[in-house]
Amino acid sequence: ESAFIHRFEPATSAGSPPLLLLHGTGGDENDLVGLGKMISPGSALLSPRGRVLEHGMPRFFRRLTEGVFDEEDVRRRALELGDFVADARQQYGITAPVAVGFSNGANIAAALLLLKPDALAGAILLRAMVPLSDPPKAALDGKPILLLSGQADPIVSASNSARLAALLSEAGARVDHKVLPAGHQLSQADVTLSRDWIGDVE
Ligand code: MLT
């Protein structure tokens, strides 16, 4: 069962990679469309709505409390998202997307990278944390990943985001980790850095 409510916007220019947009807790498939267009105008946009509800707020996996995840659900939902991406690639005729995830969306993107590396061409992880305490040995083979953390993020500690960067690097990804003078919310620097980074990888 990989049916996600989602929004799809076809590419308007040929050279840009498709983006998989993954919203934060309480968001939906419309949230990151504007961000996607700013980061990579011309890219196809595939934007699913998280299927888990927490007090009515859509998310991509269950958590026990803030920052404490139901890891069995993380694994199951990440694979389900991978199936959705595979189906959408067929349906819309797109190549493997670059994930752009914020908060809970960044965490499911990180889980997908670790569990099913082929699903994504790369990722921009905005305010991500380590999604699995005992992740499988993934082969990320040079996949480009931009990790942007907030220096004053009350949800993601500096050591946690550093651990995630190390985990992805050890799995072979090409990780660019920057810590911004920001909290958990996004800042203008996130947009600018993401846009510059994606311009360099494509
Ligand atoms: C999560 O649950 O994925 C993280 O706590 C981030 C959030 O959604 O607030």
What separation, in Å, do the N-terminal and C-terminal C-alpha atoms of the chain show? 32
Looking at the structure of the chain, the number of domains it has is 1
Query: Is 158 domain-assigned?
Result: yes
Separation of 35 CA from ligand 1 center, angstroms? 19
Atom 1 of ligand 1: nearest residue by CA position = 104
Kindly give the parts of the chain with pLDDT less than 70: 1-2, 202
Q: Distance between CA atoms of 107 and 90, rounded to whole angstroms? A: 25
Element (H, E) at 5: none
Separation of 192 CA from ligand 1 center, angstroms? 23
> What type of residue sits at position 7?
R
Ligand 1 contact via 155 beta carbon (within 6 Å) = yes
Q: Which atom of ligand 1 is nearest to the CA of 60?
A: 3
Q: Distance between CA atoms of 92 and 87, rounded to whole angstroms? A: 9
The pLDDT assigned to 201 comes to: 85
Query: Is 32 domain-assigned?
Result: yes
Q: Which atom of ligand 1 is nearest to the CA of 66?
A: 5
* SS3 labels along 138-183: CCCCCCEEEEEEECCCCCCCHHHHHHHHHHHHHCCCEEEEEEECCC
Q: Which residue has the tokens 């299927």?
A: 51
The pLDDT assigned to 2 comes to: 56
> What are the tens digits of pLDDT across the range 139-160?
999 999 999 999 999 999 999 9
Element (H, E) at 6: strand 6-9
Q: Do strands 144-150 and 174-180 pair parallel, antiparallel, or not at all (unpaired)?
A: parallel
* ipTM of the complex as predicted: 0.95
Query: Is 1 domain-assigned?
Result: no
Residue-number span of the structural domain to which 112 is assigned: 6-201
